[in-house]
Amino acid sequence: MEFIEFTLPSGIRVLHKPNNSGVSHCGLMVMAGSRDEEEDEQGLAHFIEHTLFKGTKKRKAFHILSRLDEVGGELNAFTSKEETFIYGSFLNTYFSRAIELIFDITFQSVFPAKEIEKEKDVILDEILTYLDSPAEAIFDDFEDLLFEGHALGRNILGTKSSIAKFDRAKILKFIERLYQPENMVFCSVGNISENKLKKYLLKADELAQTRKKTYKRSPINVYKPVKQDFEKSNFQSHIILGNRACSMHDKDLTTYTILNNIHGGPGLNSRLNLNIREKYGFAYSIESFLQPYSDTGVFGIYVGTDQNTMGKAQKLIQKELKKLSTEKLGVLQLSKAKKQLIGQIALGQESQINQVISLAKARLNYETIETIEEIHKKIEAVKAENIIDAAQHLFDPNQLSSLIYTTK
């Protein structure tokens, strides 16, 4: 896998993966997410992502939204706990148009007061929709439990009270602190020469303001397991059981990923799905998840079940946890798990926009980009003993937290 890599005068790192497609994708990833918000800024990273599209020094909102749309392209953005990503998809002919637009809204947005007030209503509606879905809300509430008192646990959307206080001054303060070119990566996948890419980016880079670098992320706080139960007006009971997990820099991340896949990952052949949903029918929705962050991570098991089968489902989950912590995987079982992960990675890379996102995130957090061959080598190196060690650490009963929404 060959990449084109260089750094712009402002400090923005560039990573490009060439291909022969007629469609290209590119974006600017900023190391600024909800974990970087101060106490009175809850939801601000996400709010800024929305208001970036509301006007720049030379464009009205309509012109921003139409710039790629009118040539059949797309402009979009998202916010996570640790990043904001502004990106576009377009025909190769419009590479320069997309680059200029993304840099314009990232560095030249003016955040009109009228648009800020309108966007508050949009976000408040988004919060109400989210609160109306306990199966979604419980995931964020569980992270808030795991990281109680730390910004990493907060909901990305913020709260009604925090959003009501947002204004242009607060937005500009956040941008001044966090939208540092040295904390940004421009990533693209498409059919363009290195010379043309450099030409377009050097021109766009003139908009990037180098700011005084003063911000450092607050270290993660000490973990104490917590168990909480709440009665809610739900049709089902919702349960999450889990623990803090490995960061994206942990040497055992591949082992934990395989373990999660076996236990309750995206495949229908996971142990939780086969033994709790398919065998007994105790749950329609059951899964485990692993979310690594830059300095910590989250592992959890989610199940949505009827009130009268909740206890049985929990016992079966505990049984599976114990089994993976004590019974060594056979050679064939481990081989199948490795092949499954290799296949999932390959399928995930079929989407070019997924490639842009994963490469940008990797370049933002790592000094070098691993090749597919290096990733496969790591997967193949995992042993059955490693899986047991990871399970014993992750599934330690004394370290598990739980959050339960029972029906009234």
Q: Is 394 within 8 Å of 246 (Cβ atoms)?
A: no
Rounded (to 5) percent helix, strand, coil in the chain: 50, 20, 30
Q: What are the structural domain ranges in the chain?
A: 4-207, 227-407
What confidence tens digit (pLDDT) does each residue in 209-227 have? 776 677 789 899 999 999 9
Q: Is 254:379 a contact under the CB 8 Å cutoff? A: yes
Taking residues 5-18, report their average pLDDT.
96
Tokens of 263: 């236990």
pLDDT computed for residue 1 by the predictor: 54
Give the Cα separation of 291 and 237 in Å (integer): 23
Q: Are 196 and 203 in contact (CB under 8 A)?
A: no
The token pair that represents 1 in the structure block: 């896998």
At 73, phi and psi to the nearest 5?
-95, -175
* Contacts with 158 (C-beta within 8 Å, 6 or more apart), sequence order: 34, 42, 43, 44, 46, 47, 123, 127
Higher pLDDT, 130 or 401: 401
Over 70: is that where the pLDDT of 318 sits?
A: yes
Match 């599934």 to its residue by tokens.
395
Q: How many residues are present in the chain?
A: 408
pLDDT attached to residue 209: 75
Q: What is the pLDDT of residue 212?
A: 67
Which residue's entry shows tokens 């590479």? 95
290 — pLDDT class (breaks 50, 70, 90) = very high
Query: Domain 4-207 is in which class?
Result: alpha beta
Q: What is the pLDDT of residue 2?
A: 84
Band the pLDDT of 358: cuts 50, 70, 90. very high
Q: What mean pLDDT do residues 300-307 have?
A: 94
* Homologous superfamily of the 227-407 domain (CATH): Metalloenzyme, LuxS/M16 peptidase-like (3.30.830.10)
**Per-residue pLDDT for 320 more than 60?**
yes
Range 118-140 average pLDDT = 91
Mean pLDDT of the residues in the chain: 94
Q: Rounded to whole angstroms, what are the CA distances from 163 to 49, 85, 127? A: 14, 21, 11
Q: Which two tokens stand for residue 74?
A: 């797309």
